[in-house]
Amino acid sequence: MRPVASCVLRNLAAIGPALAVALGAMNAHAGNPRPLFEPTDLDLENPGTLQVDTQLGELRGPDAARAVVPDFEFDLGLARNVELDVDSQYAIEGPSARGFTWDRPGPDNLWVASKLGLWDAHDGARRRAWAIGVQLGPKIPIAHGARGVGYEGLVLVERSVGEMHLVLNLGALIDPGSGVSTGRSEGIEGGVDVNLPLNKSASLTLLGEFGGVRFLSDDRHQLHATAGLSWAATKSTDLSLIGLKGLLSGGDRYGVLAGIAQRFSLWD
């Protein structure tokens, strides 16, 4: 086994069980289906560079199938260590049995966040590094029936070993509710994002996530894992295919997503 791949497995083996215990195995609360928490990386776009990341696919939720059309994220580099992120999802849910109906759209609330790089340390000789950052900002109520502005914040801790990047995500969320100050989803979230190039040119990359939410409100807890591949088709375009497996009843049970990420230079 490659040394870097072995390092990934050791880190996931150490972090995974601890996160699962923290989230809890109990899912006694019932709530409306909601998008999963997706652990993020600490890569910051260069100033003036816009990355548009979209995913399309089909997911099987706890109660019904759902077509994602799309899950999207816009990342705009504003300064060397400052990035503006806009993240949301638009989905169409089908009935509990089978099929889809176009009269059951499910837009998610819009998260407008700043991602800040706070500190980093590099060991060039050993090709190792640490970095710390945050991603935080308001959640705009665009989901059906949502009222009031929410908030979400994450602390990001990255460990790089050679070409492998592993990012620990820890944070909390307060979503818009059914009223301005009532019916809000509140929870503690955490996860790990893994990025491992598989060849010298880094054109083919292994992607992985393990994450979830321990809700403090009356919502079913979430825990899931994803794995997939990303291919750098050009210098500015990446294509990806990712499989998802839910581990608790509060989130999606399984699914497949195809994605495309494109970068544009808006100014020098």
Per the listing, tokens 């060849």 go with 199
Q: Closest by alpha carbon to 91, among 76, 72, 74, 78?
A: 72
Upper half-sphere CA count for residue 107 (Cβ side, 13 Å): 12
- Most confident of the following: 69-73, 96-100, 179-183, 257-261: 257-261
Residue 35 has what pLDDT?
81
Query: Which token pair is 131?
Result: 């970095």
**Does the pTM exceed 0.75?**
yes
Domain limits of the chain?
3-265
Residue 249 has what pLDDT?
85
Domain made up of 3-265: CATH architecture: Beta Barrel (2.40)
CA dihedral over 22, 23, 27, 31, signed as positive or negative:
positive
Task: Report whether pLDDT(93) > 70.
Answer: yes
Backbone Cα Rg of the chain: 18
Upper half-sphere CA count for residue 34 (Cβ side, 13 Å): 26
Query: Which token pair is 166?
Result: 């592993």
